[in-house]
Structure 1
């Protein structure tokens, strides 16, 4: 479907790619991985035609269409509603609808065979394009990635950049291009939305290339991994976990080959040095010199994984109780976040607060921090020293400071060498520590702000989305740092790999209360799956339909929500069909009046022509009536399921 052949691309004198090749097949699901700066996003732009190769070429099949989600779309604005923007994915079908509307308007005065035939053909084509369901499909995708039904008619320009990016993702998914390219699609999604996109991509009919730092997302939706490294593209025939294991084995083989070759080189050089002056050995010496010159050298393995060894120092340990919330309530107008909720954080807790956007997770962090006013009581324990990391902390960095200066101002008593060691763990080495904050990327600023948080000598950390803008290597560094942290922390995150690595308790907000699971994320998932399964069995074994419906609503809310979405979809389709039937009924009435007129009734040819039109309308009506009956049955069944 698409071939990259001997691709080279240079920025100034620096070569991002040199003679790189890759072949993409029609249903490939590929994860593109590599360190920051290796050119992953650049490769997508080369494929999309935004950049031109310095050498080599990219060939694609004639019928190959490309859809590209990238961070540049954050700036896209429109006065249209987000539903209308998503519907732009169906341009051809929308054009058919306009043509049908124009023909129906024409039929108010013109009942010629030509017009009726054109209407029939347009409607058949519209139906073949599944035109009656495009609105329902767009709504399903938008709601799947986190929008509420009430949001669908709001103008795109009223949403933040992250939510606008979701709309562009929805539009791309609805367009279904042959090759779908997604650059960091999970950056602006919450956990339920990430899982929805994963499931969508698993069954996507075309090819997919994903650049992502979310390791679990890659594991769940890709089947091949391509590593960008040293200007080349290396293919691994498995998901991200397979890639890590396979790469480890390849590195061991390469390192062994390197060491063996180095030993051979040293032996050869010793021979050359020893016998260089002997005439009797000159031929052998020259032969070995030429052999070394021709030798294809094996590169030494450079391990990208950095082992972190932080030494956290607390001026004092906190008491056993860190923060206690008792009967706490918080609302913004009609939006209730918490109502009479109670929770307790103890020394040594490593809590992950998870859930969908809009539930109030960041608000809960501020309540725990004591910066958000609430009803009820918040009690802070003895000797608690807090440090809060959130994305706004990036703006709080002094842009005119060098990185080392900024770290010095964090209030710790660490020496310059100790600060350099910490910065080295966060990938700032050698002269990097003298870079000005203002020249750093978003990810680099995040790493500086995180490093400042970790050296603050706080015994209680509050971390709001700490993995945003971090690459995989930086996420793994943060996991290692928090594993060694002996204090208490609570973090809000949608990165499941990160949560698995750091949390010993899971919090989530349900029914306007903070709920706690006292175990790891893996244990929480197993418990949740068991709860859902038991709920489904209980619902099925209840004898009374009314009781079954109540149980479904109380216990299996996810299933009930899916039924509600399907019901809404069918109800919208029914409305469209009923509008068509009304239009046909009006045409029938007009034709009946025409057949009853003395002028037509007295002319057999005119009467026959009008009667033919009438029969065609009746045939269409019968066909659409069948659709109406089917929809009514499906709606009744769905309503019965909901009780």
Structure 2
């Protein structure tokens, strides 16, 4: 059964010169669990917003037999109760519900009850108990502040909010960002077991392999569909590329043969013409002159055929983007031990984050920092960089340690400056050209480097942040979820760069493939 259909969709943003989507069409059926992939900035989030009506396309339409539910990328949580959060998918519904249960003026309560009923609120309340059991939230006090929930509980609450509306399908925009392992495993199990079709934007290869049965690759404004998970699609892409390469090579061989045939016919015709004189009037050469003309006509026909074949070959030539690897320059300190952490403790508002934490960072260490959301991973980074002071304990860096800190929230970026200026800000002007090279290696190219950070997609902001760290040539990298929002190709580039990197790394990542390729040690933080 058809759940969703996009027909000939065209769209471009107001200041853009080119369409993001150009005659894009797709269909979602009830047995489809779709992974939507594509480069940063290609329009994945925009497409989901068009489907759920937040953005209107310039042309084309979306046909929706029954409404679905949408989980945006990095939803903003406000200080409300869990129960209010579950109903805040519709501001009118939430306001009516608040008046119903808090207002003492009877007329307003009656109006609120009518509004709540009209919006389907009583039906949603009937679904509530069933849904919170389904997502394992029955033990949670619904009057509790939403912001006090753990990362896993917030994830389950977000899914519950979608399910309360009894949707026909789900739209999920990078739902695994910022999730700890436990929360991600819960979401993975839910998506494996749900009967609802969904479109999922994710750059997590292992996660996609576990939950989807279709891959839609969004590229150059259209969707290419693959019937299988991400690994299957990757193999299909490789096979397709090799086939196109072979076809192109065969076409060029054929063209080479046709050119040789054309040159032979043309040379033969020219020889005949030379023998017949300038105009071929001499009676003795009349037959030669006719042969020359016929040969030249055949040569012209052959020339036009070569031109057609060349034009066709150019159209079918596979596009292979020139890959530029990332290299992180660094000068290593001579010390064996780069940093010592001794009996470190930190708490906030009487809540102990960690206590008596001790470890040593040695030359060549690439440490995967593991812990649940709230276990203190980001807090530890802020202590190591000096942005926070510990309650107790010591942190001793060697004098020549040069720290590069990638923070997952991109606080170090200035939204009102261009991508390029953000990268070399505070450095010599001669770093500008190198900054452009680093940005280019990460996929921020040409005029894109002059775009304001506030105009960039989350993935593009991540690349600017990475470039800002790399350009400073650190010998210690502290990386808090560096792969969040990055497309597959950039993740692989970053993996390769960090494997080759000669300095020390402490990193947080819930991308298993990425982490397993880089780490040589692990530190577990557990409250």
TM class, shorter-length: 0.7 to 0.9
Q: Retained in 2: the 8 A contact 1:216–1:497?
A: yes
Say how many residue pairs are matched: 468
Contact 1:328–1:377 under 8 Å retained in 2: yes
**Shift, 1:83, TM fit:** 2.3
Shift of 1:46: 3.8
Higher mean displacement: 377-386 or 286-295? 286-295
Instruction: Describe the SS at the equivalent of 1:14.
Output: coil
Are residues 1:280 and 2:329 paired?
no
* Distance in 1 of aligned mates of 2:147 and 2:478: 32
Q: CA deviation at 1:489?
A: 1.2
Residue deviations 1:501-520 (CA, integer Å, cap 9, x gap): 3211122112x4xxxxxxxx
CA distance in 2 between counterparts of 1:133 and 1:65 reads 16
Contact 2:40 2:457 in 1 (8 A): no
Determine the structure 2 residue equivalent to 1:464: 480
Q: Which residue of 2 aligns with 1:70?
A: 72
SS of corresponding position for 1:241: helix
Partner of 2:510: 494
Aligned with 1:198: secondary structure? helix
Aligned mate of 2:140, from 121, 128, 149: 149
2:193 corresponds to: 203
- Alignment gaps of 5+ in structure 2: 91-122, 270-291
Q: 1:426 to 1:257 in 2, by over 3 A?
A: same
- Aligned equivalents of 2:422, 2:70: Cα separation in 1: 40
Q: 1:333 maps to what in 2?
A: 349
Taking the aligned partners of 2:445 and 2:302, their CA distance within structure 1 comes to 43
Q: Which residue of 1 is the match for residue 304 of structure 2?
A: 289
The offset of 1:263, in angstroms, is 3.4
Superposed displacement of residue 159, structure 1: 9.3
Please give the alpha-carbon distance, in whole angstroms, between the structure 1 residues aligned to 2:6 and 2:452.
39
Residue 171 of structure 1 pairs with residue 152 of structure 2: no
For residues 480-629 of structure 1, the aligned pairs below 5 Å read 480-510=496-526, 512=527
CA contact (8 A) 2:383 2:390 kept: yes
Question: Structure 2 vs 1, CA of residues 287 and 13 (structure 1 numbering), >3 Å: closer, same or farther?
Answer: farther
Q: Which has the larger radius of gyration?
A: 1
* 8 Å CA contact retained: 1:87, 1:134: no
1:135 aligns with 2:129: yes
Looking at structure 1, the residues matched to 35 and 371 of structure 2 have their Cα atoms a distance apart, in angstroms, of 26
Cα 1:66–1:333 change in 2 (3 A) is closer
Question: 2:219: which partner in 1?
Answer: 229
- Tell me if structure 2 keeps the 8 A contact 1:4–1:59: yes
Residue 379 of structure 1 corresponds to: 396
Mapped to 2, the partners of 1:339 and 1:158 lie a distance apart of 21
Matches of 1:140 and 1:6, distance apart in 2: 35
Q: CA deviation at 1:173?
A: 3.6
Q: Deviations over 1:16-69 (max 9, x none)?
A: 344444333212111011112333233333433455556665545x4x432222
Alpha-carbon distance in 2 for matches of 1:303, 1:243 = 17
Q: Secondary structure at the match of 2:333?
A: coil
Q: How does 1:184-195 map to 2 (within 5 A)?
A: 184-195=174-185
Alignment of 1:17-166 (within 5 A): 17-51=21-55, 58-60=62-64, 62=65, 64-71=66-73, 74=76, 81-86=81-86, 134-135=128-129, 137-138=131-132, 141=135, 143=137, 149=140, 152-154=142-144
Query: Could you say which structure has the greater relative contact order, defined with CA pairs below 8 angstroms and 6 or more residues apart?
Result: 2
Q: Secondary structure at the match of 1:219?
A: helix
Residue 425 to residue 296, structure 1, CA distance change in 2 (3 Å): same
- Say if 1:84 and 1:141 are closer, same or farther in 2 by CA, change over 3 A: farther
Shift of 1:403: 0.8
Contact 1:403 1:433 in 2 (8 A): yes
Give the corresponding residue for 2:338: 322
TM-score, scaled relative to structure 1: 0.63
1: CA distance between counterparts of 2:170 and 2:45?
14
Whose helix fraction is larger, Structure 1's or Structure 2's? 1
Deviation at 1:443, TM superposition (A): 3.2
Offset at residue 172 of structure 1 (A): 0.8
SS in 2 for 1:261: helix
Alpha-carbon contact 2:4-2:27 (below 8 Å) kept = yes
1:299 CA displacement = 3.1
Cα distance in structure 2, aligned partners of 1:411 and 1:143: 54
Distance across 1 between alignment mates of 2:457 and 2:43: 15
Q: Could you say what secondary structure the match of 2:340 adopts? A: strand
Cα 1:239–1:405 change in 2 (3 A) is closer
CA change 1:379–1:188 in 2 (3 A) is closer
Q: CA deviation at 1:323?
A: 2.0
Change (3 A) 1:469 1:53: closer
Q: CA 1:4/1:396 → structure 2, altered by over 3 Å: closer, same or farther?
A: closer
| Partner SS state of residue 250, structure 1 | helix
User: How far apart, in 2, do the equivalents of 1:160 and 1:198 lie?
Assistant: 17
1:332 Cα shift?
A: 2.0
Counterparts of 1:352 and 1:498 in 2: how far apart (Å)?
10
Gaps of 5+ in 1: 91-128, 513-643
CA contact (8 A) 1:318 1:459 kept: no
Distance 1:359 1:174 in 2: 31
Distance 1:168 1:352 in 2: 28
| Alpha-carbon contact 2:423-2:467 (below 8 Å) kept | no
Deviation per CA, 1:90-114, whole angstroms, max 9, x where unpaired?
Answer: 9xxxxxxxxxxxxxxxxxxxxxxxx
CA contact (8 A) 2:366 2:504 kept: yes
TM-score under structure 2 length normalisation: 0.75
Instruction: Report if aligned partners of 1:394, 1:449 keep a CA contact under 8 Å in 2.
Output: no
Conserved 8 A contact 2:175-2:202: yes
Asked if 2 retains the 8 angstrom alpha-carbon contact of 1:320 and 1:346, the reply is yes
SS at match of 1:149: coil
Contact kept in structure 1, 2:401 and 2:475, CA below 8 Å: yes
